[in-house]
Amino acid sequence: MSNVICQYLTKQNYSTLSDETYGHIDEWLEWYQGEVKKFHKYKIYNGTSTITEDRYKLGMAKKVCEDWANLLLNEKVAIKAGGFTKRLNEILQANNFLIRANQLIELSFALGTGAFVEYIDTSGKVTIDYIRADMIYPLSWDNGDVTECAFGSLRVMDGKERIYLQIHRLGKADDGEKPELYYIENKYVDAQSGEELEVPEGIQKIVNTESTFPLFQIITPNICNNIDLDSPLGVSVYGNSIDQLKGCDLVYDSYMNEFVLGRKRVLVPMSMAKMEMQKDGIKQPTFDPNDTVFYQIPQGRAGDFKITEIDMNIRAQEHDMAMQRNLDILSFKCGLGAGRYKFEAGGVKTATEVISDKSDLYQNRQKNAIIVNDAIVDMVAAVAFLENGGKAEATVDFDDSIIEDTNTTIDRNIKLVDAGLRSKISAIMEINKCSEAEAKKELERIAEDNQITGQDVDWTKTGEDEESEEVDNESSEEPAGGGNDR
């Protein structure tokens, strides 16, 4: 499909990327799906003939991307946009944002690129599309930022495959359009010939968005694309770790075959496995032919062959060590830090130990959060523009509890405030992950609560206690020796 789209865009005088880039995307997609034909299908000679085997798969490519998606965008991430927050949450919920955005991050890290695309659907609602790399075709870019882009998808209409192209571009002055505004072209192309087709009824060919900024946002892992240095597309988070993915599957395949080939066998002379005649005239084998433990072999001339047991030793320890080594290298190269994947018994590490042991993970997570943060902020601005033509400045509060020990953060801030090295507002902002205005309001509420200290009022006293206290006070006011007045 990519070749057809690129050829069509070229005919329309658009600059497109080389086919080599999309060739790598296809390879990364195979590893993400866990089925690489040229690797997981292999042939082996068994002494008499060549047979085709399927390699056992560990599927670490998808697991790595799942972990990155959970580290960056999970259910605890909060998006705030001032007075637009309530309506924004309604729009995001209608677009299933929490689920689909997490899946988009996973696909973006697997295939190198992903995109949010916003538009008004036929019913007048703000809609967000989640586009993966093999559907993204950058047309122009500046300093790594994609300014114009086409998004392609395959559709079936009247039983035939059609390619739907949504081209986001700046206006063409020659056509009477405003160069500072963005326009969206809706195109339909034959999937086989690449010829342009008529647009279905009800869909406009060209839509003036009246926006000066693009209604799409590109997401990539925050690492350099060393495959094509000039490409605006990103590189898969495991794009430079294909050998490590192969190593994991090779060791796992060998491990599984140890159990398949090393199961217990009992060699039985064929003469002992003969059919025995039963009393009712029905033949019954001495050994159950469906029992794979028994293996019949011809008896030698000497006739002295006896039943022999074969019990293979499984090299479990060697495979465990090799598997752990491959997982450590893969985790390190994919930015998750060495030692993230451990399949062994032991105690659970505390959050402080996780931070110290996985500083690479912390730094890479913060670095990748920059890309995701910018994309979400721009997405909120696009949603606000489409909803009411206004502006919205968003903030994204990521879930730092994954890589941060909350108790340690609280204790550190308390010590700094007590030592006079930090303001209470700054401490509240860091602990509660809030803005300065919200921190000031919280500090005011704390001050109001502290006005009632409980020192002047004893909330535990009853009415009887108060009466007895009054009596004691009256008796204490009598002059000394007053009881001896005669």
pLDDT tens-digit series, residues 130-185: 999 989 999 999 888 999 999 988 888 878 888 999 999 999 988 889 999 999 99
Provide the pLDDT confidence category of residue 480 given band limits of 50, 70 and 90: very low
- Measured distance CA(212)–CA(151) in Å, rounded: 19
Q: How far is CA 148 from CA 169, 189, 232, 378, 379, in A?
A: 5, 19, 11, 15, 16
List, for residues 47-73, the tens digit of each pLDDT value: 667 888 899 999 999 999 999 999 999
Q: Find all residues with CB under 8 Å of 434, minimum gap 6, and list them.
A: 428, 442
In percent, the amount of the chain with pLDDT more than 90 equals 42
- Measured distance CA(60)–CA(62) in Å, rounded: 5
pLDDT at 457: 42
Residue-level length of the chain: 486
Structural contact between residues 352 and 408, judged by C-beta atoms closer than 8 angstroms: yes
Kindly report whether the global pTM for this prediction surpasses the value 0.85. no
Is pLDDT above 80 for 14? yes
- Measured distance CA(272)–CA(308) in Å, rounded: 12
Q: How far is CA 231 from CA 110, 113, 140, 167, in A?
A: 17, 11, 11, 19
Provide the pLDDT confidence category of residue 16 given band limits of 50, 70 and 90: confident
- Measured distance CA(55)–CA(257) in Å, rounded: 10
**Buried b / exposed e along 385-408 (16+ C-beta atoms within 10 A):** bbbeeeebebbbebbbebbebeee
3-class secondary-structure state, position 228:
coil
Residue located via tokens 């006293």 = 461
Phi, psi of 87 (to 5 degrees): -65, -35
- Measured distance CA(307)–CA(304) in Å, rounded: 10
List, for residues 182-219, the tens digit of each pLDDT value: 999 999 998 888 888 888 887 889 999 999 999 999 99
pLDDT at 459: 42
The Cβ of residue 244 has, within 10 Å, a number of other Cβ atoms equal to 21
pLDDT at 284: 52
